[in-house]
Amino acid sequence: MTVEAQKETLGFQAEVKQLLDLMIHSLYSHKEIFLRELISNASDAIDRLRFDALSDPSLYERDADFKIRVSYDKEARTITICDNGIGMSRNEVIEHIGTIARSGTKEFFKSLTGDKQKDANLIGQFGVGFYSSFVVADKVTLTTRRAGTPASEGVRWESDGKGEYSLETVEKPTRGTEVTLHLREDESEFLDGYRLRSIIRKYSDHIQLPIYMPVEDKEKQGEEEVVNKASALWTRSKSEISDQEYKEFYKHISHDFSDPLTYLHSKMEGTQEYTMLLYVPGQAPFDLWTREHHHGVKLYVRRVFIMDDAEKLMPRYLRFIRGVIDSNDLPLNVSREILQQNRLIDLMRSNATKKILGLLNDMATKEPEKYETFWREFGRVLKEGIIEDHSNRDTLAKLLRFSSTFSESDKQDVSLETYVKRMKEGQDKIYYLIAESYTAAKSSPLLEIFKQKGIEVLLFTDPIDHFIETELREFDGKQLQSVSKGEIDLSKFTDEKEKEEQQKTASEAKDLIERLKTVLGDKVKDVRTTNRLTSSPACLVVDQYGIDPSLKRLLEANGQRLPQDKQILEINPQHAIIQKIKQETDEQRFQDWAHVLFEQSQLSSGEPLEDPVGFVNRLNNLLAQS
């Protein structure tokens, strides 16, 4: 086949077109970042080559002098970014440059809001990388050759970013990729060596590889100079690195546009030597829940990039952490399989986890507002740690935040420590209520007595909270007690007179209870009086060791079959309706009342009714006769 015969025009995947349109508008105010993105890709490509060449030195093609070059041509109005990295084959160009092969793409488009600022951030998180070129260029030419393939297998990709691109096979003697941007008319500001140098220093100083540019001095034409610091940021000493540099490095590795919330940089010395530079992002990626993680922690061995997203380096519940861990002791040929059972890796992970939890703990105590942001973004993921990581459970428990009956809003901002500090004198349990939503929890009848006595109840309203309940039995020596389980003993907070009254009404309700049991039969496990309620007539509870109904619903919705555990109907003998039912002599009416009591208790605990029409009919009968 001749070279010409291999020229073809292809269409972008629909998502690419959509993304390009969006990006050109949203990123307009950050347009200089195109250079950061292209340098970042070049650096990744060299990292990958360096790694592959460890097992196949022929890939070096006798050129192990890794570098990135940035140049510009005022006349031609072009900027060129060139690397001697891994390069791409024809198929890789089609796959990587013409399509978005990322899971979560659909979710990403759904999450766009139309608000330019917000969308710019989301686009940043999604990682537009290469496509940001079209913000400043009306034509982009990419010429590349995969390392290890013959010079005749170079590929030229070209597009005006409007929906199509052309591909042709070209001769490319050197391996790697060269991207040429043909600048738009109004983007001449970038055809300036000083401007380009300052953008590189601002965004790409931390890139480990040297970035070369032609010397500006006319007398030194043809000469090049390195324009960045060109040393791995994490190897430098903390005192030499500015906050700005740390932040830019974060953006490089995470492909995020916004600043991280916080970071830690720590060198371990002694028997094991390794350095970690870890970041907590400022916001959760749009697909935190939908995909296997993409840009996690990168593993380096003696400054050589080994792999992205080395999941063994972080527990799953810290999957939002970004950064680099560089080991001096692992072998360079380390593979994912080796990582699975490597003692050194386990040690690094356990240390990194402790450091991150310590960092979060510091943030929670010293910068509570920042911690609030953290909790809003990542709290639900961190909660998984209570289930997953028993060795750090105490530290994790301190980091938890819940909404509470003492707060005005649904904000999860009450820690277990705060709860314990606010406990009433004589109170020995941490009370909580599990419900499907904050609204359902806030108005639950089960809270009535606690409100009356001024006892705080934590509201567990995230699905994961059900599992926290089963794992976290106590905190600071205080037992956690669900308000919907077992018999709640608040006798310490009840005076003698009140107790006497309760006993009296309870013994007077004995007959009523028997009648209710007969009518409700096996719908309930038991019927008994309660002191939990003050303004509702009845509620449903489970035994101390029973499964909470909302957890049951959650598990059943996920396909689990559970034993049919009946609930206990508790009645408030002092309530006017209960008093009225007690007097009811008409058997049909009594039966209607009994069912209505049971069914309204199901409704207020968020359960669906088995026979909603029957409930409405019974209620209507009672209303019509009252």
Ligand X SMILES: Nc1ncnc2c1ncn2[C@@H]1O[C@H](COP(=O)(O)OP(=O)(O)OP(=O)(O)O)[C@@H](O)[C@H]1O
List interacting residues with ligand X (CB under 6 A).
Answer: 37, 41-42, 45, 83, 85-88, 96-97, 127, 129-131, 177, 255
Could you tell me if 42 and 35 are in contact, meaning their C-beta atoms sit under 8 angstroms apart? no
Minimum CB–partner distance for residue 296 and ligand X (Å): 12
Considering the complex, state which of residue 33 and residue 569 has its C-beta at the smaller distance from ligand X: 33
Confirm whether residue 130 is marked as ligand binding: yes
Considering the complex, state which of residue 52 and residue 259 has its C-beta at the smaller distance from ligand X: 52
Considering the complex, state which of residue 130 and residue 438 has its C-beta at the smaller distance from ligand X: 130
Confirm whether residue 88 is marked as ligand binding: yes
- CA dist 301 → 99, 298, 347, 495, 565 (Å): 32, 10, 15, 68, 55
Confirm whether residue 177 is marked as ligand binding: yes
| 3-state DSSP assignment of residue 81 | strand
Could you tell me if 379 and 414 are in contact, meaning their C-beta atoms sit under 8 angstroms apart? no
Minimum CB–partner distance for residue 430 and ligand X (Å): 43
d(CA 370, CA 193): 39
Could you tell me if 90 and 155 are in contact, meaning their C-beta atoms sit under 8 angstroms apart? yes
Confirm whether residue 103 is marked as ligand binding: yes
Considering the complex, state which of residue 255 and residue 349 has its C-beta at the smaller distance from ligand X: 255
Minimum CB–partner distance for residue 139 and ligand X (Å): 17
Alpha-helix residue ranges (DSSP H) falling in 368-509: 368-388, 393-399, 416-421, 438-442, 448-453, 465-471, 496-508
Considering the complex, state which of residue 86 and residue 345 has its C-beta at the smaller distance from ligand X: 86
Give 397-428 as a 3 state SS string.
Answer: HHHCCEEECCCCCCCCCECHHHHHHCCCCCCC
Could you tell me if 400 and 363 are in contact, meaning their C-beta atoms sit under 8 angstroms apart? no
Considering the complex, state which of residue 255 and residue 595 has its C-beta at the smaller distance from ligand X: 255
- CA dist 177 → 28, 49, 59, 467 (Å): 26, 12, 15, 50
Minimum CB–partner distance for residue 605 and ligand X (Å): 45
- Using the Cα atoms of residue 67, residue 68, residue 71 and residue 76 in order, give the sign of their dihedral: positive
> What number of residues does the chain have?
626
Confirm whether residue 85 is marked as ligand binding: no
| 3-state DSSP assignment of residue 368 | helix
Minimum CB–partner distance for residue 32 and ligand X (Å): 16
In 3D space, the residue among 302, 301, 284 whose CA is nearest the CA of residue 293 turns out to be 284
- Whose tokens are 């055809």? That residue is 191
Confirm whether residue 104 is marked as ligand binding: yes
> Residue 24 CA to chain centroid, in angstroms?
27
Q: How many Å is the maximal CA-CA distance in the chain?
A: 112
Minimum CB–partner distance for residue 113 and ligand X (Å): 20
Minimum CB–partner distance for residue 87 and ligand X (Å): 6
> Residue 55 CA to chain centroid, in angstroms?
35
Confirm whether residue 268 is marked as ligand binding: no
Confirm whether residue 426 is marked as ligand binding: no
**Beta pairing, strands 211-214 & 68-73:** parallel
Considering the complex, state which of residue 297 and residue 472 has its C-beta at the smaller distance from ligand X: 297
Confirm whether residue 550 is marked as ligand binding: no
Considering the complex, state which of residue 83 and residue 168 has its C-beta at the smaller distance from ligand X: 83
Amino acid at 187: E
Considering the complex, state which of residue 32 and residue 83 has its C-beta at the smaller distance from ligand X: 83
Considering the complex, state which of residue 121 and residue 602 has its C-beta at the smaller distance from ligand X: 121
Minimum CB–partner distance for residue 125 and ligand X (Å): 8
Alpha-helix residue ranges (DSSP H) falling in 112-160: 116-126
Minimum CB–partner distance for residue 215 and ligand X (Å): 24
Burial of 88 (0-12, 13-18, 19+ CB in 10 A): buried
- Whose tokens are 């359960």? That residue is 607
Confirm whether residue 87 is marked as ligand binding: no
Amino acid at 418: T
Long-range contact set of residues 58-63: C-beta below 8 Å, sequence gap at least 24:
58/148, 59/86, 59/147, 59/148, 59/175, 60/147, 61/147, 61/148, 61/174, 61/175, 63/174, 63/175
Could you tell me if 91 and 10 are in contact, meaning their C-beta atoms sit under 8 angstroms apart? no
Considering the complex, state which of residue 45 and residue 330 has its C-beta at the smaller distance from ligand X: 45
Minimum CB–partner distance for residue 334 and ligand X (Å): 22
d(CA 187, CA 138): 10
Show the tokens assigned to 421: 């500090």
Considering the complex, state which of residue 122 and residue 594 has its C-beta at the smaller distance from ligand X: 122
- Whose tokens are 């709290």? That residue is 379
The binding site consists of 37, 41, 83, 88, 103-104, 125-130, 177, 336
The binding site for ATP consists of 37, 41, 83, 88, 103-104, 125-130, 177, 336
